[in-house]
Amino acid sequence: MPGFEFFGEEERKEVNEVLETGILMRYGFDAQRKGKWKAKELEQALCDKLQVPYAQLTSSGTTALTTVMAALGLGAGDEVIMPTFTFVASFESVFSVGAIPVLVDIDDTLTLDPAAVEAAITPRTKAVMPVHMCGAMADLDALKAICDKHNLILLEDACQSFGGSYKGKALGTIGHAGTFSFDFVKTITCAEGGGIVTHSRDVYTKSDAYSDHGHDHLGVDRGADLHPHFGYNFRISELHAAVGLAQLRKLDQFLAIQRQTKKILKDALATLPEVSFRRLPDPEGDSATFLGFFLPEAAQAQRASANLKAAGIVNFYYFDNNWHYIRKWDHFKEGKTLNRFHPQLEAAMAGYATREFPVSDALISRCICTPINLSWSEEEVKERAEKLVQAVKAAL
């Protein structure tokens, strides 16, 4: 799964080119950098690869989300519909612009349930944010239809699914904007980094400025830039962009390995009739970073997860996970923030202290996800497939 598994001479070459100039910042120092602009080069490469006109790099997937939410005009009092199953950065970003996260149930795609989204819309709803979890896509046709019907923003949190697609279009490029994470354990890594893609020049221009203290970047003298609006320091460095540039060139190789390995594991597990698999709205677009499957009962899934761990197979039983599922987000449910929420946001959050999500619980409590690594040999994949089947079979 993580690009760092194939970190090598290509990445070192790109990083060394930056080190040789001594210019580690992405802006300014034009003469000293000797024509090396790694962030700009990576942004253009992302546009070319994903077939989208605009890309903006940031320091992380979290800052990418915060930046693009601001660029899309999301703010105080606006409701953003998002899933119960995601990474905490999704709701952190909503808080960062003063908006209100409205969590709704997932379905067997492990992403937003379109029916739950429709039921959650109020006059204050401004955006729907599907999170393409564990490498695969939400039902974007249904979600886009809902957004079109209600004149809502469709913002794709594609931080966990770079390289995936939906009906021939790259995930992240289908809504009004999309975001990616390039942290150390993503399909391609910058070590730390994030990205925004959009078809809107306005969203891009605002994102470009917002991620760099509001600089308009229109002049040749950084010190003379104008500031059309506030911004923050969410810049990526040239060193991080250099790593990502080399990694992006390997993406097709990464995806091919993951898809081949996942098929072997899935085919082996499919021999057990009690096992069902995560539904993929477009199987061809799966980036195959994870294999997600369900067992009939929660207790069986718990046992299977423990068996897999004992067998040396990394797996995630997200029902008991502190980072990715609402059940254990106590800081979220109790509104534990270092800075005070606006009273409207505070009131909206109060309901989460007691709110339950039985539909999501019923799915996540029966679900196991196991990551697909890039560096496994053929023999290791075969051995893992056998251990996977044995561990699950013993739990049934």
pLDDT digits (tens, 9 = 90+) for 155-185: 999 999 999 999 999 999 999 999 999 999 9
Class of domain 3-251: alpha beta
Residue 316: helix, strand or coil by DSSP? strand
3-state class (DSSP) for residue 100: strand
CATH number of the 252-395 domain = 3.90.1150.10
Asked if residues 2 and 8 have their Cβ atoms less than 8 Å apart, the reply is: no
Q: Which residues are part of the catalytic machinery?
A: 186
pLDDT score, position 219: 83
Q: pLDDT tens digits, residue range 311-321? A: 999 999 999 99
* Mean pLDDT, rounded, for 85-113: 98
* Portions of the chain given CATH number 3.40.640.10: 3-251
- Residue ranges of the chain assigned to CATH 3.90.1150.10: 252-395
Please write the tens of the pLDDT for every residue from 239-282. Answer: 999 999 999 999 999 999 999 999 999 999 999 999 999 999 99
Q: Fill in the amino acid letter for 244.
A: G
- Counts of helices then strands in the chain (DSSP H, E): 14, 12
Kindly report the number of other CB atoms within 10 A of residue 282's CB atom: 18
